[in-house]
Structure 1
Amino acid sequence: MRNFSLDDEPLGDVNVYISPVTTPTSTVDEEKCLVRISLKSTESNIRDVWNYIVQNLPYLMIVISLIQAIIYFECNADIRKILRYDPDKKYEIWRYLTYMLIHEDVVHLVLNLFLQCTFAFFLETKQGRLKVGILYLAGGATGVLGASCINPGILIGASAGVYSLLISLVADLYLNYENIKYKTYRGICISVMVLSDITFNLYHFWSREEPLISWEAHLFGGLSGLILGLALYTNSEGLQQGRKNICMTFSSLLYFLIFTTLVIITIDSGTLNCATKMKT
């Protein structure tokens, strides 16, 4: 044991000195036997939390959100018409992604930006920004294709991509069940958000308020997130590699089949002269 004096310089954030001498009759010089332990100060804890947040910030989704916000506040009506999805201009391929940059109002914009950054916070560092970006864009493209096949209309908003991220948390929970903390609470939160969205969509559907909400885009975006999440996300050691390979292969083939089918149906559909405007 190293002897310390009270005059020693502090080594930690907060130093507490304790004595190993516990018997009342001990004659040992306690000051020479003091043992120093370091306790983290409040400032150090705050610094650790701040470092964790900085390291896990969803930088890719933040950049996408900034672009969406700039387009909302700066672009005029003509540019918005070029970016939005229009079923009568289905061969303009960029519209299948750029419609995600357009939002109806500030509430629509802020809600989508908040949700997509929140979900990405739990995914980007763990699963990789590239995978999360692919899943977000694929969810948007699959969502608009599904909406175009079932209920074609002019479409704006990023909710299909947001829903893709939300439901992909289910895939992440399944693949990494052994290592995820608070898995029960995460499952409850996902269920509550999905049920809340379904309830809101049903209310909006029956009230027929304009603009309509495209539940089809939400549905196919979420389905895309689940399937691609199982195919792309990294699994923990708790899931056998053989099961992961089967899951990845089956999910990839299923997504390819669904996406191809939606593309074929969209191409084969005729010109609709559709004026119905919907948001996701």
Structure 2
Amino acid sequence: MPTTQRETTVSVPLTPTRSNLYWRRIFNKYDRDNDGKISYVELKQIIDSREYDHDLPDNVVSKIMALADRDNSGYLDFDEFVEMMHNPDLKAVFGHFVARYVHSIVPHRGPVDATGPWQGFRAVTTTDTDGTYEEEYTCWPPAISMILISLVEIVLFCYDAAHNKMDASGPIAQLFIYNPHRRKEAWRFLTYMLVHVGVVHLLVNLLVQLFLGVPLEMVHRWWRVILVYLAGVAAGSLATSLTDPRVYLAGASGGVYALIAAHIATIIMNWQEMEFAIIQLLVFLLLAAVDVGTAVYDRYFRNLQQNVGYVAHLAGAVAGLLVGIGVLRNLEKRKWEKRLWWAAVVLYFTLMIAGILANIFWTDHFPPSTV
């Protein structure tokens, strides 16, 4: 193991404080073999867990190990581990641990604890991981995938509008809309999301997908959000084709509802890492309840016949929830979350495969093809 000389060392007091217990929890988490030491391999796992776009080269990990391994034993004991986390030269690598550490010891508003080592400080009422999710928000890489999709939708709509066709009858719409008579053109099961019927339809979808998609992307990165969005779009068209085989389908509502449900998924999977998780969950459940309630009221009490694809909305939401559980980041994995992950993945693929096979082989259910 390469070694280097250092001019100064950082002394870290290790009295039995709350912050020390925090570092002990982190240390035990990455001490995979429970031998009381962090090996080179285990150190590399800590660094890789930061989820860099490109992992640090092995020589960099070796230098970090040499810098922190004061006794040149080839391992980091607990004292060396804590010192490494506080080393100013390594903040760029371990900044996320330090951010959690700072959050865990900053006094919160609450009743004053007048006894013990925290005398004079306000008691901390949250857990060590509260707020960890919020610390993961970042503007780099920039969250632009939903912005780009929105721009494409605007450009295509404007192209049809230039031909005086804003009712999904323009050249672009005719090429991309889901047409039950042209189901063999498989791209239509996805590209109908680029077609909108009128300015209001377009603006509503744009606003929701930007306000919900961009924050998701800032934590979970673009490719995860795109997977959720497209899963909702595909599920919306597959479900609609089976429940209402003669309907035409346009709009990004399946993807939009997938983003709504994905927020619920990430709240469930990161419950203990979120601040005010219960409030966030209630807000999204309230939005879903209002939408469903409005649809039921309009359909069965006001007897309004609207050209709204509620099945696509529902299927998009189910796909967003299942795929969100499967692909969005889970900051602290627990046993029940792993079981939930497997259940979501299996259920999603079961439903999707069943929908695809039904669309291929249940030919009597669909109108004649004109392809």
TM over 0.5: yes
Deviations 1:30-60 (CA, angstroms, capped at 9, x unpaired):
xxxxxxxxxxxxxxxxxxxxxx885586310
Deviations 1:99-143 (CA, angstroms, capped at 9, x unpaired):
000111111111111101111122102112101001101110011
Q: Which amino acid aligns with 2:282?
A: I
Match of 2:316 in 1: 221
Q: Is the 1:136–1:165 Cα contact (8 Å) retained in structure 2?
A: yes
Deviations 1:117-176 (CA, angstroms, capped at 9, x unpaired):
111122102112101001101110011100110112100010010000101111100111
Instruction: Classify the secondary structure of the residue corresponding to 1:154.
Output: coil
Match of 2:203 in 1: 110
Deviations 1:217-272 (CA, angstroms, capped at 9, x unpaired):
011100001111111112122x41x4343332222111111001111222213342
TM-score (norm 1): 0.73
Q: Is the 2:138–2:219 Cα contact (8 Å) retained in structure 1?
A: no
Q: CA distance change for structure 1 residues 157 and 204 in 2, over 3 Å: closer, same or farther?
A: farther
Instruction: Classify the secondary structure of the residue corresponding to 2:249.
Output: strand
Q: Is the 2:156–2:172 Cα contact (8 Å) retained in structure 1?
A: no
Match of 1:126 in 2: 219
Structure 1 segment 1-280 matched on structure 2, within 5 A: 58-75=143-160, 76=163, 77-152=170-245, 153-206=247-300, 207=302, 212-237=307-332, 239-240=333-334, 242-267=335-360, 268-270=362-364, 271-272=366-367
Q: Which amino acid aligns with 1:85?
A: Y
Quick one: distance in 1 between partners of 2:304 and 2:198? 15
Deviation at 1:78, TM superposition (A): 2.4
Quick one: distance in 1 between partners of 2:322 and 2:354? 15
Gaps of 5+ in 2: 1-136, 164-169
Deviation at 1:90, TM superposition (A): 0.9
User: How many residues are treated as equivalent by the alignment?
Assistant: 221
Match of 1:21 in 2: none
Q: Which amino acid aligns with 1:188?
A: L
Q: Which amino acid aligns with 2:339?
A: I
Quick one: distance in 1 between partners of 2:326 and 2:216? 15
Q: CA distance change for structure 1 residues 188 and 273 in 2, over 3 Å: closer, same or farther?
A: same
Q: Which amino acid aligns with 1:81?
A: Q
Q: CA distance change for structure 1 residues 269 and 214 in 2, over 3 Å: closer, same or farther?
A: farther
Q: Which amino acid aligns with 2:258?
A: S
Quick one: distance in 2 between partners of 1:142 and 1:224? 6
Match of 2:25 in 1: none
Identity %: 28
Deviation at 1:208, TM superposition (A): 5.9
Q: Which amino acid aligns with 2:256?
A: V
Deviation at 1:82, TM superposition (A): 1.1
Deviations 1:46-88 (CA, angstroms, capped at 9, x unpaired):
xxxxxx8855863100100011011111135122111100111
Instruction: Classify the secondary structure of the residue corresponding to 1:235.
Output: coil
Quick one: distance in 1 between partners of 2:368 and 2:303? 21
Q: Which amino acid aligns with 1:213?
A: V
Q: Which amino acid aligns with 1:176?
A: N
Q: CA distance change for structure 1 residues 272 and 209 in 2, over 3 Å: closer, same or farther?
A: farther
Deviation at 1:204, TM superposition (A): 4.0
Quick one: distance in 1 between partners of 2:147 and 2:305? 29
Q: Is the 1:56–1:121 Cα contact (8 Å) retained in structure 2?
A: no
RCO higher in structure (CA 8 A, sep ≥6): 1
Deviation at 1:95, TM superposition (A): 0.3
Instruction: Classify the secondary structure of the residue corresponding to 1:110.
Output: helix
